[in-house]
């Protein structure tokens, strides 16, 4: 293979990639699998199924994945609008906006969690009016988890969509408009298909981050078993009770499910890249 490769350094590059992946990703993760397979782990297959089958555990999986999914969707819409505004309009203090968007990356997630919790608490700055006017409670409810995860996921979406939006040639939109397309049609058939692959990447990243998020969620979630308890919290709880095999079983399941979901998102993206969007659903085969 390296003989026909024009770029030099294929072997060292591959070697480095494998080394890095092994040290940082594969070895720690496979330790997890080994841990469960060790004879002294006291974890049989039946034992594993028992742990996973537990109702509280199942509820926590539901909470974790559903909340991350909803949050990633909402963040996708908000993030698209934000990216659009940042790219298309000349804002005063654009740099400050830009920096603000990255803030969730840098902020310790626990800080974000505490701030959000106090804001949305029933007597908080936002929580009180929301509760009194609309009867909506956010903090210490599953909705609180979603709010925290939107906050965490937003920068992923904005940062993946922004460069793609920047690259869209405005004359492509002008061309569509000269052919009679309405603004909605331009968005639907020109902008949206061009942004979609990046949007899916951003969505996948926000979702993955949301599933594993711990710090910001536990302060706002209320952590009620069966209702607003997330899997990472359950893992910590099990660790604190010296139930190492239980924690490992949860972690491994989390790992597999996340990996499968991310793989699925990547596959969807690949399919979309191959099958472009056209104005009418029925594709003409000349």
Start-to-end CA distance of the chain, whole Å, equals 39
Least Cβ distance, residue 255 to another protein (angstroms): 35
**Cβ atoms 1, 227 nearer than 8 A:** no
CA pair distance 126, 174, nearest whole angstrom: 42
Quick one: tokens of 123? 């007597």
Least Cβ distance, residue 201 to another protein (angstroms): 16
Least Cβ distance, residue 265 to another protein (angstroms): 20
If the CB atoms of residues 9 and 276 are measured against another protein, the closer one turns out to be 276
Least Cβ distance, residue 243 to another protein (angstroms): 51
Secondary element (H or E) of residue 48: helix 45-53
If the CB atoms of residues 81 and 172 are measured against another protein, the closer one turns out to be 172
**Cβ atoms 150, 70 nearer than 8 A:** no
If the CB atoms of residues 63 and 196 are measured against another protein, the closer one turns out to be 196
If the CB atoms of residues 106 and 282 are measured against another protein, the closer one turns out to be 282
Q: Which residues bind another protein (CB under 8 A)?
A: 169, 171-172, 174-182, 185, 189-190, 193-194, 276-280, 282, 284, 286
CA pair distance 163, 41, nearest whole angstrom: 48
If the CB atoms of residues 106 and 284 are measured against another protein, the closer one turns out to be 284
Least Cβ distance, residue 264 to another protein (angstroms): 22
């Amino acid at each position: 293979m390296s003989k026909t490769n024009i770029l030099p350094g294929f072997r060292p590059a591959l070697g480095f990639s494998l080394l890095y992946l092994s040290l940082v990703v594969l070895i720690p993760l496979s330790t997890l699998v080994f841990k469960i397979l060790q004879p002294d782990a006291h974890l049989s297959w039946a034992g594993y199924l028992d742990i996973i089958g537990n109702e509280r555990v199942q509820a926590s999986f539901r909470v974790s994945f559903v909340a991350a999914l909803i949050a990633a969707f909402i963040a996708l819409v908000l993030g698209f609008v934000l990216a659009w505004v940042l790219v298309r309009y000349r804002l005063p203090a654009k740099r400050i906006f830009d920096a603000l968007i990255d803030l969730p990356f840098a902020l310790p997630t626990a800080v974000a969690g505490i701030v959000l919790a106090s804001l949305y608490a029933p007597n908080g700055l936002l929580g009180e009016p929301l509760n009194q006017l609309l009867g909506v409670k956010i903090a210490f409810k599953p909705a609180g988890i979603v709010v925290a995860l939107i906050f965490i996921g937003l920068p992923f979406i904005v940062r993946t969509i922004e460069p793609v939006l920047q690259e869209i040639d405005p004359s492509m939109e002008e061309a569509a408009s000269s052919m009679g397309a309405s603004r909605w049609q331009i968005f639907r058939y020109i902008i949206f298909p061009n942004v979609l692959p990046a949007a899916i990447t951003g969505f996948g990243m926000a979702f993955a981050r949301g599933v594993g998020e711990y710090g910001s969620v536990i302060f706002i979630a209320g952590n009620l078993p069966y209702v607003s308890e997330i899997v990472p919290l359950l893992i910590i709880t099990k660790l604190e009770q010296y139930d190492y095999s239980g924690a490992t079983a949860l972690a491994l399941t989390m790992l597999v499910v996340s990996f499968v979901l991310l793989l699925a998102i990547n596959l969807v993206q690949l399919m979309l890249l191959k099958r472009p969007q056209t104005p009418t659903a029925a594709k003409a085969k000349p």
